[in-house]
Amino acid sequence: ATDGSQHSKSVAEEIAHRPFPAGSELRIISVFESPALYIYAPFSMGGMENFYQEVELTAKKAAKEAVETAAELIKTKNKTLLISTAVLEGDVKHTILEDADTFNADLILVGSHGRGGLERFLLGSVSQAIVLHAKCSVEIVRKRDQNTINNRMDDDLKNQK
């Protein structure tokens, strides 16, 4: 799953550089939460319905851009993966876990928040829920520094020759 953050980009970069077997299936999803999940109004306030629709439309558009960006990044570096994408609505934690079950995922890759010190042992609530409740393996991907990424890209180019 991606939310378009730098942490999600790190996951996409990691996938792009992995030597997965040709034809491996990859599903990239982004989950947005409707404002109705947070706010229940038993009465209609003038103009609020349009506001909620606009917020939902903006969230859906951002989710679509996030999956498209991740898919494109991966496709440019790894053309052998079979990539599918989806934009889903719901509670982020539950929706990711349900989709992984439906897709019959073997592995879920989750971004880390890149904290230091004692905080590095703590995960965000979404990552933690996935680690604790997923039926498949889960891997935490930490953001790499630019030198490591550049060296890895150089190695990839050498191996392609």
Q: Using one digit for the tens of pLDDT, what is the confidence trace for 18-71? A: 999 999 999 999 999 886 655 555 555 556 677 778 888 999 999 999 999 999
**Structural domains of the chain, ranges and CATH numbers in brackets:** 6-160 (3.40.50.620)
Task: Report the pLDDT value the prediction gives residue 123, as an integer from 0 to 100.
Answer: 58
**Whole-number Å distance between alpha carbons of 73 and 83:** 11
Task: State mean pLDDT over 59-85.
Answer: 96
Backbone angles phi, psi at 117, to 5 degrees: 55, -145
Give the range among 47-56, 60-69, 104-113, 146-155 with minimum mean pLDDT.
Answer: 146-155
Task: State mean pLDDT over 141-157.
Answer: 64
Report residue 120's pLDDT band, with 50, 70 and 90 as the boundaries. very low
What's the full length of the chain, in residues?
Answer: 161
CA-to-CA separations, 57 to 18, 33, 45, 113, 143, in angstroms, rounded: 34, 11, 19, 27, 30
Helix or strand or coil: residue 35? helix
78-105 per-residue burial string, b: 16 or more CB within 10 A, e: under 16: beebebebbbbeeebbebbbebbeebeb
Query: Which residue shows structure tokens 């989709």?
Result: 99
